[in-house]
Structure 1
């Protein structure tokens, strides 16, 4: 059984007793999750010594939550049946006893260590995203002038994930509030950098100044905490905007090394590689990011990465299918719709492509293929394919 707590940038992970022999698979998995959550840097994690002490006293989840004054409790059970391993996990808000999230993670038991590793990956990524989502919901209900740095950060995330110009501006405001309240808050600098990145990528602001602001905010995040994977993720994105692909990939790989469960870092590695780098690696990164965070707000991007990589590999029918899935996401922005329209046009599905073109025109009436190509850093061969697709549907 695993425990965790919450807001005001203070999250704690602990473990309650499991019936049976000490040192088994459940204990190994619990301790592994403690270590992985600590690497996220956004969570304050209680050390294994306290975990062991509470376990020895047979302290249950509810009592441990009260004893540690935690905001969230995550409890879990591990079962082995035939050649499969299943872990049930439940995230509960301590104050209200409300179940925030629950899931079952199942894996073949051909290799116990591999099974535990993959299940651990998925649990840690899910805990991070579900706690973040819960905190965003709490922050959005509070009056803006009453927010502390942690709450302002999550209010910013709520707006950031709407992927439109107005919400992006609001997100910037709350991230600026967060770093003003806490100048050492590296994650808030990463969020602030992302809003400037969006302004440059979407052309919601003058591109060059926005690129510089994205890089500056990412640098401030690294200065605040150079072991925060989100800070390296932000710098990787900012360097990509500057056209420094190799340096970008180095920063993004550093983010993954610091936290192998950081889905957005895996996704962004795919984003950079899919355009002009290693297309096969981009597909692997896309798939891994979606396994880690299957309901991510950036799922449309993860799907689109796979589509662009498949275009470069000449697998156009597959590319179109993945691009359509990306465009179907409710928060997919205009560049995602353009990827899907062009991919469909490449394989002759012109009617479907034209329907997407109508959506593009409704959202951004002046949108042209040059806007799309200016946003990305595509290889010459990929650029030619997207130009041809655009020509077939009149996205000139």
Structure 2
């Protein structure tokens, strides 16, 4: 069975078209179920396709019966309606739109397949001619799918061009198709100009730049980078800088500013204004714009990604430029977009998704909700979670991308993320490899601040875990942190790294000042909150330590340092005399990936103080298996325990003999 959604919807079985019912709702239901990654609930389908029907469940049953006649055969029932869920069985079947989306997520795309799939996109618009009146939810879904598929189509055409000789007729045809789909994509214009220069067609290049200038100016877009690229190409291929007679663009009229080079240091992101889908509310302004402003501001404070300014994003939105088109126009790596709705009983729901701009691949999507009893409080809480998730997802995606590249071809940004991948393994050999990648990143770009923080962390691990001579490692941790602070004193990671180094040097008050500076610069910096909890758990305010550890976990619930956040909470609970809770958190910390030997020791002491001696002895045995000869001196050497916690550890040690 084949389901075609480009052009008017169609179903083919064995290559022969199956007659579809004339009902728009039936065709809409077919398309939605075919594109769904998981079964849909009946209530959701009713909300999607009916505004205020008399009997939505009854109408849905009628539509399903008509759809069953199209999809099912005596040998196989493809429409699965079990209980409240509805789905289409697509085993041994295909959906053209899904094939497109799957292809752009693959690393290897044969040219013949690229051409075949691009041709599918050109059969017609997604669900061409299918309009379901008084169904705004379905109309919004169709619009989102069209945007997503248009971006995927552009990605296919870009890859198709890359597989061809750059100056051939086929390459020019591929570029024409690419520009037809993405007319404001600078990369496509530059590839077209390069192909024309290679063919010696300088007049055609002048005309192309002039046409592009008119089009970009009509949309309020900057075309200066295209003009400068063409001048450089002409200089390289012909030595000529003067434009052909009759062309609109001249050397005098071309923008004088030089285009900004694509940063190799940070991934870039554009955050679109959020759409307010609350009934009776304007699509723009109010809560939706406020949420986008908040996310942009908080992301910028993290300093880990390059964030497009909100003025640009709001201007594009005013021109009704969708998120996929905006991402490609701005040449960013990621686009965040979403919508919100104020529902009954004062509840706010916010839906967010993060997309890779070049491939239209959805990296992450989530729905957040909260009670609107205190509007500012719930917006702050949801904003925190959104920003932290976006930053973590980008970090993970960049690490995974860097690990697949040849080490000799890495940029400073990629070397940094390759180092991060090794760093969070918490293993001696991985730590050494991480250090080498961070050092490479610093060599490639000495002004890039973040690798210095990574270097400091590797030296911190050496000192904390006893992998190298302690005094030298501490000195190097401090020196690397100081280098980052000089490179970017507004980066929260620089103050975090310096705070950790100062703690190693037993300069607690100075360490706390730097750690507070980190979270003041960026309240969403989870590692800053965790380290405040880590320090206070040992010798400061135990209640504050728990609050900071909990805040870190809320901001980054899948963080590689999650085991340490839990262990810090366990230490603070011990100081408060809540031994059983401490034992629970100690066990949870040990169960996390990459938990090192000190974490096991915290769990062991917590279990002993909770009276669970047998389990504590079993944990002690596991410590010896992991690191034979590990003893009390190793633990005391690593931490800076206050007198009360030191007495508790002594008591636990005596219990265990």
Asked if these proteins are the same fold (TM beyond 0.5), I'd say: yes
Whole-angstrom CA distance in 2 between matches of 1:6 and 1:334: 39
Deviation at 1:13, TM superposition (A): 2.2
* Larger relative contact order (CA 8 Å, sep ≥ 6): 1
Q: Which residue of 2 aligns with 1:41?
A: 303
Deviation at 1:96, TM superposition (A): 2.4
Whole-angstrom CA distance in 1 between matches of 2:644 and 2:422: 36
Q: How does 1:309-348 map to 2 (within 5 A)?
A: 309-348=572-611
Q: How does 1:62-211 map to 2 (within 5 A)?
A: 62-82=324-344, 83-211=346-474
Deviations 1:40-70 (A, max 9, x none): 1122111121111101011111111111112
Q: 2:266 aligns with which of 2, 6, 9?
A: 9
Are the aligned partners of 1:275 and 1:309 in contact in 2 as well (CA < 8 Å)? yes
Q: Does 1:249 align with 2:512?
A: yes
Deviation at 1:17, TM superposition (A): 6.5
Deviation at 1:350, TM superposition (A): 1.5
Are the aligned partners of 1:286 and 1:306 in contact in 2 as well (CA < 8 Å)? yes
Q: How does 1:253-332 map to 2 (within 5 A)?
A: 253-332=516-595
Deviation at 1:301, TM superposition (A): 0.7
Q: Does 1:353 align with 2:610?
A: no
Report how many aligned residue pairs link the two structures.
Answer: 391
Are the aligned partners of 1:76 and 1:90 in contact in 2 as well (CA < 8 Å)? yes
Q: Secondary structure at the match of 1:86?
A: strand
Q: Which residue of 1 aligns with 2:161?
A: none
State TM-score, norm by structure 2: 0.58
1:240 to 1:338, Cα distance in 2 relative to 1, 3 A? same
Q: Does 1:60 align with 2:317?
A: no
Q: Which moved more, 1:40-49 or 1:245-254?
A: 40-49
Q: Secondary structure at the match of 2:305?
A: coil
Q: Which residue of 2 aligns with 1:30?
A: 292
Q: CA RMSD in A?
A: 1.5
Deviations 1:322-367 (A, max 9, x none): 1111111021000000000111011221121122112211110010
Whole-angstrom CA distance in 2 between matches of 1:378 and 1:8: 39
Deviations 1:249-296 (A, max 9, x none): 000000001000000000000011110011111011001111100111
Q: Which residue of 2 aligns with 1:369?
A: 632
Are the aligned partners of 1:7 and 1:135 in contact in 2 as well (CA < 8 Å)? no
Deviations 1:153-209 (A, max 9, x none): 000000000011110111001001111111111111001000000000000000000
Q: 1:50 aligns with which of 304, 312, 317?
A: 312
Runs (4+) of structure 1 exceeding 6 A deviation are: none
Gaps of 5+ in 1: none
Whole-angstrom CA distance in 2 between matches of 1:392 and 1:318: 19
Are the aligned partners of 2:478 and 2:498 in contact in 1 as well (CA < 8 Å)? yes
Whole-angstrom CA distance in 2 between matches of 1:7 and 1:73: 18
Are the aligned partners of 1:16 and 1:61 in contact in 2 as well (CA < 8 Å)? no
Whole-angstrom CA distance in 1 between matches of 2:309 and 2:610: 55
Are the aligned partners of 2:328 and 2:358 in contact in 1 as well (CA < 8 Å)? no
